[in-house]
Amino acid sequence: MSGAGLACVALLLTAACGLAPQPDSDGVRVRDGVAPFSDQGSLQFCIGTQRLLPSVERQGLCRADEQVPSSCLSDTDCRSPESCVCGQCMVQFCEATSDCREGLICAGRPKRCSPRCNADDECGPYGVCNGGACETACWEQSDCPTGELCLVGRCAAVGCGPDGPNCFDGETCLVQAAVGAVTGVSAVTAEEVANTSEDTRIVAFAELQTPSQPSAIVRFESVDGRRFVATIGQQILPPGGASRLSNPAVLRTPEGLYLFAELDGGASIVRALDAGGAGTAPGAFTTVATPSAWASEVHAPSAAYVNGRVVFAVAGAAGEGIAIGYLDGATFALGTAATLTPASFENPERFVGVSTLGSPDLRVEESSGGRNILRVYADAFGTALPVGIEGASLDVPTSSVVYAAAVVPDEGDALSFFIASDNPTFGRVQNFAPLEEYAPSVVQLGHTYLLYFADDVGPRVAQNPVR
C-alpha cells in the first residue's frame, strides 16, 4: 500500500503508532539545520539589471552622466550608501529598512536606503539628520552617491522612469526597478538542476506576477544565495484553462527534473517532467492530487527522492493539516486524515494555540549511521512562549517555522514523525514584538543550512549555524 494514511506522528517524542528510533539518536546532530537560525536579510530578484518589486513609486533615479555605476557582486563592493542592485552600485529603492544594508535606513521620497543617524554631526560637514536619515551636504557631484544629484548643496534623489518624469540634460535615468511580485520561493542547490551559469550555487523556482503576465513560474540563479537573476526568456505558464500556477517545487530523479505546482489557488496539484533537467522546458502537466474528504483544498506541494521512490507532501486549507506519503505512480492519495495537523505542534511550554499548518518543505539527509532522515519544515500559526515569561508582550500569535522528522525505513511505507521539542524552530522578534515567517524552503550547502522564507514584506533568508 502507499499514500499519506500510512504515516504516523510521535508527539513530543511519544509515539502515536509504535515507538520508532528518534532521528537524533541515529547520528544526526539535531542542531544542524534545526535551530538556531539567524536572519540574513531580504532577497533580491532581478531581471537583467532591474530589481523586481511588488510596487514602485518610481522605476529609476536620475544620475549624473559623469557617474557610471560600478559593477558589483555584493554590497561590500560598493561604497555606502550605495548598494549592489542587480550587479550595479547605486542608491537602492526600498520598501522597509530590512531591505537596506547595515547602517542604512529606508527613508525619503522616493523611498531609498540612506545613512542612519540620530544627530546632525553623524551626517558629515553641514549634513542634517532628518527623521533618522542623513541629508548629506555636497559641493560637487562627486560628493554624492550614484543615483543622487547635488542640488542646492544637498544630495537629493530625483525619481524617473520610462514613462516619465524625465531627467535634465547631463543626466540619465538609471532604471533599477521593475514591477513584479516574487512568491512561493523553492530553492535547491545548483547540482540539482542542469544548465546553470558558472559559479551559481543556488537555484530558486518561484511564481512571478507582473502587470503583463499575472502568473508564471520562473527559474532564478544565485552565486551568494541572496541575489537571484532570472533565466532570461524562460517562463512556465499555467496550463490551458488555468489562471494561476504557484508554489513550485522541483525534484531531481533518474527520469529528469520534475516540477510540481499548485493550480488555481488550491484546486489541484500538478506536475510536469523536464527530461533535460533544467526545469525550464517541462512537458505537459498532469494532475497529482486533488481535494479529499479532509482537505477542502490542496496547496504547496513538496517532494523528496529516497530509496528509489518519491515521498510527497501537500497541505490542505489553513487549519486542515499536511499529508505526507509516497507517490503511487503519478498520483497521490491524501488518505482519510492528515499526517500532521496544527495540534501535532502544540507544546504547553513552547508553542500554544496552534491553529494553522501549511507550506511543507521536505528534505532528505543521511545520518552518520547511514539511515535516511526525512525532514519536514512548515509554517504554523500560534503563540511562541518566551521561556519563563508568561503573559509578556511577546505572547501574541504569529506564523513561525516548525520542524518534524522521520527515519525512512529501508523497506515498507511507514513513516513515524517526531516533532521537535523546541518548536518553533525559527521565529524572529523585533522591537519586543514577534514577526511573521511563512513558506520555508531549506537548502544545505556543506555544513551550512539556508532557510528561505517570506514575511509581510517579501522573501528573506536565514542561516544555520549562526556565524
Which domains are assigned to the chain? Answer: 4-40+185-464 (2.115.10), 55-178 (no CATH)
Q: What are phi and psi of 122, to 5 degrees?
A: -85, -5
Please give the pLDDT value at position 172.
Answer: 94
The pLDDT of residue 6 is: 39
pLDDT computed for residue 66 by the predictor: 94
Q: What pLDDT, on a 0 to 100 scale, did the predictor assign at position 12?
A: 32
**Residue 206 CB burial class (10 angstroms; 0-12, 13-18, ≥19):** buried
> What per-residue confidence (pLDDT) applies to 309?
93
Contact between 310 and 257 under an 8 Å Cβ cutoff? The reply is no
This prediction's pTM: 0.89
Contacts of 199 (CB under 8 A, 6+ apart): 223
The one-character DSSP state at 368 is T
The pLDDT score that the predictor gives to residue 157 is 94
* pLDDT at residue number 335: 87
Alpha-carbon distance 382 to 101, whole Å? 31
Residue from 225, 144, 177, 236 nearest 50 by CA:
177
Cell of 245: 500556477
pLDDT at 194: 94
Retrieve residue 84's grid coordinates.
549592489
How would you write the pLDDT of the chain (467 residues) with one tens digit per residue?
344 443 555 433 322 232 233 344 333 343 456 668 899 989 999 999 999 999 887 889 999 999 999 999 889 999 999 999 999 999 999 888 888 999 999 999 889 999 999 999 999 999 999 999 999 999 999 999 999 999 999 999 999 988 778 899 999 999 999 999 999 999 999 999 999 998 999 999 999 999 999 999 999 999 999 999 998 667 899 998 899 999 999 999 999 999 999 999 999 999 999 999 999 889 999 999 999 989 999 999 999 999 999 999 999 999 999 999 999 888 998 989 999 999 999 999 899 999 999 999 999 998 878 889 999 999 999 998 875 455 555 678 999 999 999 999 888 788 999 999 889 988 887 767 788 999 999 999 888 999 999 999 899 999 988 65
